[in-house]
Amino acid sequence: MEVISIGLLGLGTVGSGVVNIIENHQDKLMHQVGCPVKIKKILVQDLTKIRHVQVESSLLTSDPDEILLDNDIDVVIEVMGGIEETKNYIIKALQEGKHVVTANKDLMALHGSELLTVASKSGCDLYYEASVAGGIPIIRTLVDGLASDRIVKMMGIVNGTTNFILTKMSQEGRPYEEVLKEAQELGYAESDPTADVEGLDAARKMTILATLGFSMKIDLEDVKVSGISQISDEDLLYGKQLGYTMKLIGLAHRDGEKVEVSVQPTLLSNRHPLASVQNEYNAIYVYGEAVGETMFYGPGAGSLPTATAIVSDLVAVMKNMRLGVNGKNAVTPQFEKRLKEEDEKFSKYFLRLHVKDEVGVFAEITSIFAKHGVSFEKILQLPIKKNEVAEIVLVTHQASSSEFQNILSILRDLSFVDEIKSSYRVEGSSVV
């Protein structure tokens, strides 16, 4: 093979990074695959737009068929985003015998199984390392590095925007709205940050990881999701006093044949390795039956980290081309999907509530928890000067999700409970 030709769908932040790496790392790519790699065509919306990366105008096109139907193009790299239109482009590319590398987590979370099936039938590769955690090679780790192990648990910080916001709120005592605005100004958050701050972005990534890690077809609707927009300064302060750090955590946990997958604000023990992951960085903790605990850390987004993952996938595709083994990488899920019921999900819980400052109230609350077999690990009881209300902050020992929700329901109906302010999952034991 004299040269490997690339068609690039999209030339935004990540696409520009891909162009830079392919142009500046030609010697490395030549060494890896034995021939030059060149970008032949780039699909863009606006041919006249001024861009951050210099490319010859002859490479640009607004017609996708100039890439998808060009027999000389070997690999299509998709960095344009979107779902339905992009899905159609990728299917067309695969059916035309082109290998595909994508960074599109939304697409892979929703339609990954279908696209991988098309790729396999077409004898083509479909790689998507950059769809989760930017420059961290977590997908390759699950597919190759830990292929012989049985993954029991994956938990991590897989959204840099929310981690940046929570870091600033916790360390600098700044309100959510102010830090969100800064994140938008720095380019960490979109003008509409809903997908990030409400946990949907992280949920899509956890769908991909759980499907791979558990070899089980997990769908986006199987993921229990809550975001960070309701977290208050008081929650962070009390968590800190009790020895915890707040993070938006994606969790995928298997017990026997059943799994649970969630994304939710979680108070992590300060001793947990994920508690020290700050700002826009991502980290994923993986526990395997054989390997034990491992953790992967790095930049979760950005032009060059994400582009590095894409070009690594490109190298894998090109090596397969030279070996003649394309289309063999897709492995169908081994196990039938079995999700845990609420009474099979166990966790510690943080609870903050306002109650009437009267004799016997705390004893009554304690008895309610005791009747449901839930005990306390930590308790704070603080008077509030206004309205004769007291604030109770507690952390439970392990309890099932169903029991904890039953307790919350009972507490809401009690006359002496003024308001349930917040409740969060807790991971690990605090150092306080």
CATH of the domain at 356: 3.30.70.260
Q: Is residue 336 part of a domain?
A: no
Query: What CATH number has the domain bearing residue 244?
Result: 3.30.360.10
Whether residues 12 and 37 fall in one domain: yes
- Assess whether pLDDT exceeds 80 at residue 331: no
Q: Is residue 329 part of a domain?
A: no
- pLDDT category at 145 given cuts 50, 70, 90 is confident
Task: Name the catalytic one among 98, 105, 168, 205.
Answer: 205
- pLDDT category at 358 given cuts 50, 70, 90 is confident
**∠ CA 307-310-314, rounded to 5°:** 135
- Report the C-alpha gap between 89 and 80 in whole angstroms: 11
What percentage of the chain carries pLDDT values higher than 90?
A: 77
Q: If residue 248 lies in a helix (H) or strand (E), which one and from where to where?
A: strand 244-255
- Assess whether pLDDT exceeds 70 at residue 381: yes
User: Can you tell me whether residue 171 is helix, strand or coil?
Assistant: helix
pLDDT at 385 (0 to 100) = 65
pLDDT at 227 (0 to 100) = 97
Whether residues 97 and 157 fall in one domain: no
- Assess whether pLDDT exceeds 90 at residue 232: yes
346-361 average pLDDT score: 93
User: Can you tell me whether residue 252 is helix, strand or coil?
Assistant: strand
- Assess whether pLDDT exceeds 70 at residue 432: no
- Assess whether pLDDT exceeds 80 at residue 329: no
The secondary structure of residue 256, as a DSSP letter, is: T
- Assess whether pLDDT exceeds 80 at residue 386: no
Q: Is residue 332 part of a domain?
A: no
Task: Give whole-number Cα distances, 97 to 8, 220, 367, in Å.
Answer: 16, 29, 67
Whether residues 76 and 183 fall in one domain: no
Whether residues 143 and 269 fall in one domain: yes
Compute the mean pLDDT over every residue in the chain, rounded to the nearest whole number. Answer: 92
- pLDDT category at 429 given cuts 50, 70, 90 is confident
Range scoring the smallest mean pLDDT among 5-9, 33-37, 123-127, 223-227: 33-37
Q: If residue 246 lies in a helix (H) or strand (E), which one and from where to where?
A: strand 244-255
- Assess whether pLDDT exceeds 90 at residue 263: yes
pLDDT at 134 (0 to 100) = 80
The per-residue DSSP string of 346-386 comes to EEEEEEEEEEE--TTHHHHHHHHHHHTT--EEEEEEEEETG
Q: Is residue 331 part of a domain?
A: no
Count Cβ atoms below 10 Å from residue 17 Cβ, excluding itself. 22
Residues 10/44, Cβ–Cβ less than 8 Å = yes
Whether residues 152 and 253 fall in one domain: yes
Range of the domain at 378: 343-427
pLDDT at 85 (0 to 100) = 97
Q: Is residue 328 part of a domain?
A: no
Whether residues 272 and 316 fall in one domain: no
Q: What is the pTM of this model?
A: 0.91
Whether residues 185 and 267 fall in one domain: yes
- Assess whether pLDDT exceeds 70 at residue 431: no
Chain mean position to CA 192: 18
Q: Is residue 337 part of a domain?
A: no
- The per-residue pLDDT for range 153-199, each reduced to its tens digit, is 999 999 999 999 999 999 999 999 999 999 888 878 888 999 999 99
Count CA atoms within 13 Å of residue 181 on its CB side: 5
**∠ CA 362-364-370, rounded to 5°:** 105
> Catalytic: 217?
no
Domain count, the chain: 3
